[in-house]
Amino acid sequence: MNEDTDRRRGKIAGEVEVKVKEIISWVVYFVCLLAAVFLINTFVVQRTMVSGESMYPYLHDKDQLMMDKLSYRFHDPERFDIVVFPVMRDGKEEYYIKRIIGLPGETVQILDGYIYINGEKLEENYGAEVMLDAGRAVQEIPLAEDEYFVLGDNRNKSDDSRYENVGNLKRDKIVGRAWVRIWPLNRICIVKHQ
């Protein structure tokens, strides 16, 4: 009986050891999974949502986007890229989605509702309409070597670089660029920048 009891105890101890190893392997798996999700979300891609109609007609209110946070580590933002950046509004940070119009070292001015870069009218077809308010861009706005000028596509319903609360966008404030629209399902697409 003593030998039989010892065998049963040994068998139970072995089963417990196997269960403990299995639990540890699951815990390690979930920790690695959470770390991978954190690293991807922090450095590679992140989901964001369009709030408002400032990028209409290309982007709509409540569109869900995946934002590419990696590519600007290898190259500079380009004209017409749609970028995401923070702005302080009413004492809290909000994220804006706008299109890059002016590049570092350029001057931007808005005359009679049209954009001029370094004195030349910009040929573009993103603006939903002629701008009624040039804001501070009624005068030439010089951009420093790390600054961009951004506008919403729905120019008359956009809070953008024409106004002091946004102003010239510093390069280090750009979180990423819009990459893929993932919602609504009937409008899933890669976001076009050029």
- Please enumerate, as own/partner, the contacts of 118-127 that have beta carbons within 8 Å and a separation of 24 or more: 124/80, 126/58, 126/80, 126/99, 126/153, 127/151, 127/153, 127/155
pLDDT on residue 128: 66
**CA proximity to 110, closest of 129, 136, 128:** 136
DSSP at 137: G
Give the active site residues. 54, 98
pLDDT on residue 184: 87
Q: What is the pLDDT along the chain (194 residues), one digit of tens a residue?
A: 566 666 676 667 667 677 777 887 788 777 766 766 665 566 556 778 888 889 988 888 999 888 988 889 899 999 999 999 999 888 888 899 999 999 999 999 999 999 999 999 998 888 768 899 999 999 999 999 999 999 999 999 999 999 999 999 999 999 999 988 888 888 887 787 65
> With 0-12 CB in 10 A as exposed, 13-18 as middle and 19+ as buried, what is 174?
buried
Q: Answer for the pair 88, 61: CB distance below 8 angstroms, yes or no.
A: no
* Separation of alpha carbons 153 and 169, rounded Å: 17
End-to-end CA distance of the chain: 83
pLDDT on residue 33: 66
